[in-house]
Structure 1
Amino acid sequence: MTANPESAIIVAGGSGSRMQSNLPKQFLTVTGQPILMHTIRRFYNYNPEIELVIVLPQNQIALWEALCAQHAFEIKHQVVAGGNTRFQSVKNGLAAVLQTGVVAVHDGVRPFVSEKIIADAFQVAGEKGNAVVSVALKDSIREVQGETNQAVDRSHFRLIQTPQCFEFALLKKAYELPEENTFTDDASVVEKLGININLTEGSYENIKITTPEDLLWAEVLHQKRQGFKLQK
């Protein structure tokens, strides 16, 4: 049981085009269940009392409800219609949040986020106002400018993941700003207010499933985690 109320907005607006599928990627199955159900369960397992708001395109809500009935999926959650952009979708999700403690925003197709990663992000956000999950780069990188490029120190950069957690009032204020093309995630929106962003440690297994190759990795990761459970 956590001291402060917690909410999670899970944004699932994928179309499935990069997955080369007619079915939206959040509804594709991993070990027999839609990806989005696995994602929701991660947050429920972390805190069974967490408020869950799922943001879906309006034309996908009926399909999601049918899938929940088909799979007897009973974890309590609220579904709201998204907007034309991620910014608008998160804003719609925020309007549906009833709790006023710390709120997380998470990608619906990141089903392998661990309870520890979620817990750490909520804890830091509760103490410092925000927390954004990230991992170090493993590959060398180069900065490209026109037809020239040069090596840069990868230790100065991080790959950003979700969840991204914020005090509710702070995130609400940030999403009252006019939308800009530079808003690629929630951290970039909050940063526009002049707020310093705190980074917490993520995991290379916390993948975002967007391509057919990712789906193959998802099956492997799920089997790996099931194996760990059987060994305990």
Structure 2
Amino acid sequence: MFSSNSEIRYTLIVAAAGVGKRMGLSYPKQFLEYKGKPLFINVLETGEKSELITDIVIVTGKELINEVKAACEKFEIKKVKFIAEGGKERQDSIYNALKFCDENSFIAVQDGVRPFFKESYLEDAFNELKSNEDIDGVVIGVPVKDTIKIVDERGIVVSTPVRSTLVAAQTPQVFRGKILIDAYKKAEKEKFLGTDDSSLVEKYGGKIKISAGDYGNIKITTIEDISFLKQEGEIK
């Protein structure tokens, strides 16, 4: 059981193994520059500044490890404990990163291409997990604005869920270390592929709470997202 802040390790995993295909880039999307820095460096700087984060594990493509290491040195990211090799799927990549994490810790998983990551997300999740032993994880998310339709393989609407019960999940997603690591081990054994980290914990009985995020905490995934970055600041 966790007894005090000083005894709790709080590890930040940053997923930076994307390839940028959907954006039509000739280089991995995490290296898209925003305000003169690769997107993932903007994320890492938030973890570096946080008084809660004790160490960082980055996961990226095998061929990019040296480049990521060089970028961390250039921008003085000092909390990096290890740079893990990415896998075929995002889930494989995070599983590789978890091998360098302590079970007796809190583990935050963050997309490397969400450059508007805030320290407050980490703080809110930390405080929630510390004060509420009944939950296993905290997911940052926002209420869905649009009406959502569930359709079949022909595109025919099957149902319309009540919008007030729907949340768009973001990152960071923060968990008790043992719960997250065990969920990934079970998923690996059963060949279960989830949609995000929380979905694995949920599958194996974990209780997850939603914490308020921000509509601006977007994941840079498509070419349209670049225009959003242009509104916020200079990109290259």
**Of 173, 179, 184, which residue of structure 1 is paired with 2:195?**
184
Distance 1:147 1:51, change over 3 A: closer
Q: Percent identity, please.
A: 33
Q: Does 1:76 align with 2:45?
A: no
1:50-101, CA deviations, whole angstroms, 9 ceiling, x for partnerless residues? 21000001011122234345x4434331211111111211111111124732
What stretches of structure 1 of length at least 5 have no aligned partner? 224-232
Distance 1:138 1:147, change over 3 A: closer
Alignment partner of 1:52: what SS? strand
The structure 1 segments of at least 4 consecutive aligned residues displaced by more than 4 Å after TM superposition are none
CA distance in 2, matches of 1:7, 1:62: 21
Q: Does 1:41 align with 2:45?
A: yes
**Of 135, 141, 148, which residue of structure 1 is paired with 2:156?**
148
Q: TM-score, normalised by structure 1?
A: 0.87
Question: Equivalent residues in 2 for 1:1-232 (5 A)?
Answer: 2-3=5-6, 4-47=8-51, 49-69=53-73, 71-77=74-80, 78-98=82-102, 100-126=104-130, 127=132, 128-145=135-152, 146-149=154-157, 150-179=159-188, 180-222=191-233
1:168-201, CA deviations, whole angstroms, 9 ceiling, x for partnerless residues? 1111111111344541111111112112211111
Kept in 2: contact 1:30–1:215 (CA 8 A): no
Amino acid at match of 1:153: V
Q: More deviation in 170-179 or 31-40?
A: 170-179
Kept in 1: contact 2:58–2:83 (CA 8 A): yes
Cα RMSD for the two superposed structures: 2.1
CA distance in 1, matches of 2:94, 2:10: 16
CA distance in 2, matches of 1:73, 1:88: 28
1:216 deviates by: 2.5
Kept in 2: contact 1:100–1:169 (CA 8 A): yes
Alignment partner of 1:21: what SS? coil
Q: TM-score, normalised by structure 2?
A: 0.85
Amino acid at match of 1:192: K
CA distance in 2, matches of 1:74, 1:105: 17
Alignment partner of 1:97: what SS? coil
What stretches of structure 2 of length at least 5 have no aligned partner? none
Distance 1:164 1:142, change over 3 A: same
Between Structure 1 and Structure 2, how many residues are aligned? 222
CA distance in 2, matches of 1:48, 1:177: 29
